[in-house]
Amino acid sequence: MNILLIAGGWSGEREVSLSGARQIDKGLLALGHDVTHFDPARDLRELYEATTDQDFAFINLHGSPGEDGLIQCLLERIGMPYQGSDSRASLLALNKAVSKQLFEAAGLCTPDWEFVPACHVAKWRPLLPFPLVVKPNTGGSSLGVGIVTTEAELEAYLLQSEIAGQDLLAETLIQGQELTCGVLEGETLPPILILPKSGVFFDYESKYVAGATEEICPAPIPVELTEKLQAMARAAHDALGLCDYSRSDFMLATDGTAYLLEVNTLPGMTATSLLPQEAQAVGLSFEQLLARLVELGLRKKR
């Protein structure tokens, strides 16, 4: 098939997107497809025309555009099949404050939270007690995430240029272990235990610098906890109306409570990214995972 690989974009996660696209390109070529690259940041106005003579679009964008449903919406209007969730579900999942309301309605445990519109950030003082995790409401890859324990630390965080003009979400800080669990079609994948070797959480450097984090898959946790995380990942996937695949992130508190943080609709797709590791644990190579995602996208079109 002729596949349009859409990657890059203009979010802070641009380089992560392009890195994953290089791996996806190799995998799709190995599967016998012809691949054409398109970067919305280069010339968004050419996207409609770029779909001409293409059979399928493979989206590897992170943040906005991509995870906000914008690209999906255009592809839907064109009638071009693509992998992953539709535009409406993507928009819901990217907005942390909205998705948390759906988690709570589904009975899923998530940290206490507070939404802060950009217009109120300058005068905002949290209602929740310290310590807090504060982050952009629609960001990803841990960009702009800060842990604040005092008023002074909060003031310093709010002065950072990378969060200027953004809506924020504040959450109660959960102390414990970080885990993630993917969903692929009707199957829930084995969780991964994430152990950053430095820093206090799974930040941007821990995610993308080689050797900065130990990722153990399957996670060495009790069977009952594995099943609980899988059930929560599946329930979050369904609550947001997602399809094909997703990856849910969790904090396991020291008292054993599992807290759902957020759900990723376009998980990282390098060969060593978290969801491909989980797929590998159930016998799917990176190329086989790509083939499955393409088939799922075509199935929705049919």
Report d(CA 19, CA 268) in Å as an integer.
Answer: 9
pLDDT at 144 (0 to 100):
85
Q: What is the dihedral angle through the alpha carbons of 221, 109, 93, 289, rounded to the nearest 10 degrees?
A: 20
What are the C-alpha distances in Å from 80 to residues 6, 84, 251? 13, 13, 37
Of the candidates 204, 268, 292, 297, the residue annotated as catalytic is 268
208 counts as catalytic: yes
185 counts as catalytic: no
- What is the phi/psi pair of residue 105, to 5°? -65, -30
Of the candidates 249, 259, 273, 297, the residue annotated as catalytic is 249
CATH topology match: 92-110+175-294 vs 113-172: no
pTM of the model: 0.93
Q: Which residues contact 15 (CB under 8 A, 6 or more apart)?
A: none
Domain residue spans in the chain?
Answer: 2-83, 92-110+175-294, 113-172
pLDDT at 210 (0 to 100):
58
Report d(CA 76, CA 288) in Å as an integer.
Answer: 25
- Considering only CA atoms, give the Rg of the chain: 19
60 counts as catalytic: no
155 counts as catalytic: no
55 counts as catalytic: no
pLDDT single digits (tens) 170-200: 999 999 999 999 999 989 999 999 998 765 5
68 counts as catalytic: no
Homologous superfamily, domain 92-110+175-294: ATP-grasp fold, B domain (3.30.470.20)
**Residues of the chain predicted below pLDDT 70:** 140-142, 198-212, 302
Report d(CA 178, CA 183) in Å as an integer.
Answer: 17
Report d(CA 62, CA 94) in Å as an integer.
Answer: 10
Host H or E run for residue 277: helix 274-281
Strand partners, 249: 180, 262
Of the candidates 85, 90, 99, 141, the residue annotated as catalytic is 141
Give the CATH architecture of domain 113-172. Answer: 2-Layer Sandwich (3.30)
Of the candidates 82, 157, 208, 245, the residue annotated as catalytic is 208
> CATH number for the 2-83 domain, one of 3.40.50.2020, 3.40.50.20, 3.40.50.2300, 3.40.50.1970?
3.40.50.20
Q: Residue 212 burial (CB < 10 Å; 0-12/13-18/19+)?
A: middle
13 counts as catalytic: yes
Strand partners, 171: 113, 133
Of the candidates 12, 13, 142, 297, the residue annotated as catalytic is 13
Alpha carbon 285 to its chain's center = 21
pLDDT at 270 (0 to 100):
85
pLDDT single digits (tens) 209-239: 556 689 999 999 999 999 999 999 999 999 9
What are the C-alpha distances in Å from 225 to residues 173, 191, 246? 21, 10, 19
Strand partners, 114: 170
CA angle 57/32/21 to nearest 5° reads 45
Report d(CA 253, CA 258) in Å as an integer.
Answer: 6
Of the candidates 69, 262, 278, 297, the residue annotated as catalytic is 262
Strand partners, 263: 248
Report d(CA 150, CA 154) in Å as an integer.
Answer: 6
137 counts as catalytic: no
Strand partners, 168: 116, 136
